[in-house]
Structure 1
Amino acid sequence: MTYRKWYKNPEMIVALSALLIGLVTAFTSIYSAYVDREYSRASVWPRLEIFRSFSGDSFSYGVSNNGTGPAIIKYAKVHDGEKYVKAWHEIEPFEDIIQSHISTRTLSPQNSVKPVAYQGESADALATADTSITIELCYCSIYEECWVIDKSNRPTSVQACMIEDEQKFLQ
């Protein structure tokens, strides 16, 4: 009886081939699941943009979602000069304006909302006041990936949307 080395045994070659095929299949499945998960996240990625409109006798702020998924706005922060404001009417030129709720809302893809709109003779005063106003929004995707954006429209990724109560804009 001749003795063969274990790796030259036909049964062992078949077993090792099956093991290799199984490992390649497992790695392929894992990578495919990773790609599918990334695709799912990308297919519902929100992208908020804050814009200002000023034309003669009208002034407005707007927020649009130009992404592919809904933006869940967790908070808004409005800062005027040295203080945080809770409502638009706390900013002197913004006392007589039409307002819409912006904080804690969901904005669908390809939609926009105008949190401030004014039509009248004081539009110049609102545009002048705009230079001292900063607006910050924190929003998340349905997968709880969150970003902070301001009037520069450069989103910054954050772990979670956290804000102190005295800084929270309530409208």
Structure 2
Amino acid sequence: MTTRYSFKNPEMIIAASALIVSLITAFVSIYSAFIDRAYARSSVWPRIELARGHDTKSKFRYIVSNNGTGPALIQYARVTYDGEAIPNWQTLFTKYGLANEGMAQSHIGTTVLPAQKQINPVEINNAAFFSKHYAHDDLIGIELCYCSIYEECWLVDRENQPQPVDQCRIDDSQRFLQ
């Protein structure tokens, strides 16, 4: 005697129902993991912004701030003067024809900048520099490449419009060393 399976059979209805419930549960679990991962990335998303400031007619500084929600892993800095890469702030003073007096500097090339913090890569208290710098400020270019802890990377310049990049790479001859 042969047994015929029918979809009207109660065992088949129960099996089909269990399969459908399992597929829905798997879909919900995968979607939930996707949402959790996206939330985790956005909860530690850095956003670097560059600015300049001055207090008097002799005190000048560049400001790098992280206005994001997570730490910024700065991979490299590139500073240019009239399109030519400069390795350090002293070179900029030399281009202006000035001695590097009244300058305080912080390392910016490879550092971790916590969320809602800022650093001043250079602060100058020199009236001669101040007057020459403002006349030539449009010749100075600053570019930073930074990543989140999830290795999502961005490139930002003085226009403060971060552009996503696959990874931070720079030729050593272009790298800012401070």
TM-score normalised by the chain length of structure 1: 0.94
2:161 paired residue number: 154
1:51 paired residue number: 51
1:87 paired residue number: 88
Does structure 1 conserve the Cα–Cα contact (< 8 Å) formed by 2:109 and 2:176? yes
Measured in 1, the distance between the counterparts of 2:70 and 2:22 equals: 37
Of residues 95, 117, 122, the one that matches 1:116 is 122
1:167 paired residue number: 174
Measured in 2, the distance between the counterparts of 1:76 and 1:18 equals: 57
Does structure 1 conserve the Cα–Cα contact (< 8 Å) formed by 2:83 and 2:141? no
Does structure 2 conserve the Cα–Cα contact (< 8 Å) formed by 1:138 and 1:148? yes
Of residues 101, 104, 126, the one that matches 1:98 is 104
Q: How does 1:29-68 map to 2 (within 5 A)?
A: 29-55=29-55, 56-68=57-69
1:133 paired residue number: 140
Provide, for residues 36-91 of structure 1, a one-character-per-residue CA deviation record: whole Å limited to 9, x for no partner: 00000000000000001134222110100000000000000011114110001101
Measured in 2, the distance between the counterparts of 1:53 and 1:128 equals: 15
1:21 paired residue number: 21
Deviates more, 1:161-170 or 1:126-135: 126-135
Measured in 2, the distance between the counterparts of 1:29 and 1:150 equals: 40
Displacement after TM superposition at 1:17 (Å)? 0.4
Displacement after TM superposition at 1:165 (Å)? 0.6
What is the letter of the counterpart of residue 51 of structure 1? A
What is the letter of the counterpart of residue 10 of structure 1? P
TM-score normalised by the chain length of structure 2: 0.90
What is the letter of the counterpart of residue 69 of structure 2? T
Of residues 144, 147, 150, the one that matches 1:143 is 150
Deviates more, 1:31-40 or 1:48-57: 48-57
What is the letter of the counterpart of residue 111 of structure 1? K
Deviates more, 1:40-49 or 1:113-122: 113-122
**What do you get for the CA RMSD once the two structures are aligned?**
1.6
Provide, for residues 78-105 of structure 1, a one-character-per-residue CA deviation record: whole Å limited to 9, x for no partner: 1111411000110134733211110100
What is the letter of the counterpart of residue 36 of structure 1? D
| Other structure's SS at 2:28 match | helix
| Other structure's SS at 2:161 match | coil
Unaligned segments of structure 2, at least 5 residues: none
Displacement after TM superposition at 1:5 (Å)? 6.0
Does structure 1 conserve the Cα–Cα contact (< 8 Å) formed by 2:83 and 2:139? no
